[in-house]
Amino acid sequence: MEKDFEYQQMLAGELYLAGGILPEHKSVHGKKIAQQINQTPIADKAKLKALVKQLFGKTGKNYYVTPPVYVDYGRHVSIGENFYANMDCIFLDVNRITIGNNVMLGPRVGLYTAGHPLDSQIRNEDQLEFGLPIVIEDNVWLGANAIVLPGVTIGKNSVIGSGAVVTKDIPADSVAVGNPAKVIKTLGEAERKYWQTQKDKYLAAKEKFNSLD
């Protein structure tokens, strides 16, 4: 395979010229697979799962992506076990997107690794651009319409509120909301106890309901 300077620059997070990427490294293949996913009947879960496995560079055994889904390359995305993405999610993966285990994406979440120079001449006349990797660690939930920008890491167990725009790293065990997203709460024992109580109430209600049969 011929060496590809622009493609290597892109994955290294350096400036690159998208039009100079060699045909074998272009993004069209992933877009075609995403198009197949979006045209597959929603009831055909086996085919959808197989297509997602073709689309992403790495998957676990248990995952589900609700169509429609949109990618740049697709193959630069890796997902862990128990991954779920709701409808209309966007993976703009000119650089790598690494997602851990037990991660949930709400509808229309956007993971954007792509960036453009702030200088207009370099951006428009030279047409140079760049991409920085995104990392989402284990047990993270991103609410609907949340946006994650290039170079961001979201720490494990964190929750990103709906509509948040994440421009900087988020520590583990955090709740972050707003534009730009800011941490408003650190998750800990109080939340664990509260949600355990809610779970116990649910189980009691379910047991009572089933006893009426």
Active site residues: 116
Q: Quick one: 170 exposed, middle or buried, by C-beta within 10 A (0-12, 13-18, 19+)?
A: buried
What are the backbone angles phi and psi of residue 191, rounded to the nearest 5°? Answer: -65, -40
Strand ordering across the sheet containing 174-177 = 63-65, 83-85, 104-105, 141-142, 159-160, 174-177, 182-186
User: Can you tell me which residue has the tokens 């039009």?
Assistant: 19
| Composition of the chain by helix, strand, coil, percent to 5 | 30, 25, 45
3-class SS at 27?
A: coil
